[in-house]
Amino acid sequence: MAYGIIVLMRTIVSIDIGGTQLRAAAYIQDQREAIAHKRVKTKASEPDTFGRLVKLIEDIWPKTGKVDAIGVSIPGPVDPHSGIIMLTPNIKEWRDFPITAKLTGHFGVPAFLDNDANLAGLAEWKFGAGRGHHDVLYLTVSTGVGGGVIIKDRLLQGYHGLAAELGHTTIQAENGPLCGCGQYGHLESYSSGTGIERFVAEQLRAGRESVLNPEKKNSAHDISEAAKQGDALSIEAYQVAGKYLGIGVANFLHVFDPSIVIFGGGVSQSGPLLFDTFNESLKERVIHPRYLEGLVITRAELGDDSGLLGARALAELKLDS
């Protein structure tokens, strides 16, 4: 008589909490696509964000009723060890908020948390551009600069859970521009979309000629488009951003020695406008060319799904550890 082997497939519910929306998805082990997916818009002024999150999770909860864990991705500083959201943009009620304990209390399954940049890096390592690599450096270059680091197939979180705040590496302590965090001369203050916009605004106020309108707030996209038209100031803004991004990444290579650097975020899509200068700066700043041997520098693959897939990957890793 033959007996079949019953394989229990693991099910993960992933949560991606953004500034303007909540997303939830349910995944079955070894399947890339979600079996259920839903999103709702949220605003800071709306009360009981957690209640709406619970309703969203219930809406996509598998009909079998079986879920092994919940993973949560969220912007802002978090303590992944205790599952506490320290602070997050646009949801004022979530300060020092014990989200994993609340989710576990409500749904009766373990829940795990980390910030969105860390989990985007984790997602790219497991499902995207970083597949097959064991030491990965991920950088999102957008409104700000965020990072995630994988070392020997493990996400770097640090003692306090605050590791890999790569955008807040100090590039120029004296006379550096003000970063959004309140410190001066951070990588983010130079190479983010905000940094590019700041540079252009300062130059326009100083009387620089440009096709850009000095009377309006020019976005990084506006500046990119002007650069494509040959505007000298706009080209210089991206060159400055690329130069300091190269300095920052050289520092990260010296610390982490990854085999791949993955870039996500809108500013990273500007192509040669940013990366020609970046590549020159990186080569000038590494202390030995060996750091660049075999190094892959590429763009992220997962787009908007990186938060959900990162939360899934985190939950799967925690269950396996």
Let me know the angle formed at the C-alpha of 150 by 144 and 24, rounded to the nearest 5 degrees: 65
Q: How many residues does this entry show for the chain?
A: 321
CA-wise closest residue to 305 among 8, 21, 33: 33
Q: Measuring CA to CA, how many Å separate 222 from each of 34, 216, 267?
A: 35, 11, 12
Q: For residue 98, count CB atoms less than 10 angstroms from its CB and return exposed for 0-12, middle for 13-18, buried for 19 or more.
A: middle
**H or E segment at 224?**
helix 220-228
For residue 237, the Cα-to-chain-centroid distance in whole angstroms is 23
Both tokens of 219, joined, read: 């976005």
Q: Taken in order 321, 146, 73, 77, is the CA torsion positive or negative?
A: positive
Does the model's pTM come out above 0.85?
Answer: yes
Q: How far is the first Cα of the chain from the last one, in angstroms, to the nearest whole number? A: 37
Whether 11 and 62 have beta carbons less than 8 Å apart is answered as yes
pLDDT value of position 5: 43
Mean pLDDT by 10 residues, the chain (321 residues): 53 89 88 76 71 92 90 94 89 90 97 96 96 97 94 95 94 88 94 96 93 90 94 97 97 98 94 95 97 97 93 94 84
Amino acid at position 233, single letter: L
Both tokens of 320, joined, read: 């396996």
